[in-house]
Amino acid sequence: MQCELCGAPMQGPSKTIQIEGAELSVCARCAKHGTEVQQPRRKGAPQKKPGLAVPQTRRKPRDVFDLMEGEIVDDYADRIRAAREEKEWSALDLAQAIKEREVLIRKIEKGDLIPEDDVRRKLEKALNIRLIDSAEDSTSASGPGRVTMTVGDVISFRKSRK
C-alpha cells in the first residue's frame, strides 16, 4: 500500500488524516501535515473503503423559465379593473369569487403588484379575460406584410450567395 500524500510505500500502520476536508491514508511521516481522524474500530461493523462512494440520487434542477407560459401584458391592471367593472363587481366581490384577499385585488388593479401564476389563472377564469402575451398575439401585432428575419434566414441567405 502507498501513502496517498507522498506516494512512498507504507511501512507500518497507516494513519488517516484530514487535509482541507479530504481524508487521506498516509504514512507516519506525512501524518504531521494534517489533522488525524480517529475512527472507531468495531469488530461487527462494516469498514468503509477509501475511494468507494455511495451513489446518491441527484435531483434535476428546476428551471423556472420552463414553467413560464408567456409574459404578462403591460396593461394587466386596466384589463382586470375593466372586466370587474363590466360584471358590476366590487373588489371585494372579485376577491371572494377567486378566494383571495381584497387588498391583493386592489394592489393588482393599481399596478403595484404583478399577480402570481395561480392568482392570474383565477382572475382570467373569473373575469373571462386573457392576461398572458402569447407568441401568436405578438406576431399578429407586427402587422400584415411585415417580415422579421431569424438567424436561420441569415444563414440560408449567406449559403445561397456562395
**Element housing 23 (H / E):** strand 22-26
87 vs 79: CA distance, rounded Å: 12
Residue 39 is predicted with a pLDDT of 67
Question: Is the Cβ–Cβ distance between 119 and 104 less than 8 Å?
Answer: yes
Residue 21 is predicted with a pLDDT of 82
Q: What is the mean pLDDT of residues 143-150?
A: 66
pLDDT digits (tens, 9 = 90+) for 70-117: 788 889 999 999 999 999 999 999 999 999 999 999 999 998 988 888
- Residue 45 has phi, psi (to 5 degrees) of -80, 140
pLDDT digits (tens, 9 = 90+) for 6-31: 888 888 888 888 888 888 888 888 88
Q: What is the mean pLDDT of residues 127-151?
A: 68
CATH 1.10.260.40 boundaries in the chain = 70-133
- What superfamily in CATH does domain 70-133 come from? lambda repressor-like DNA-binding domains (1.10.260.40)
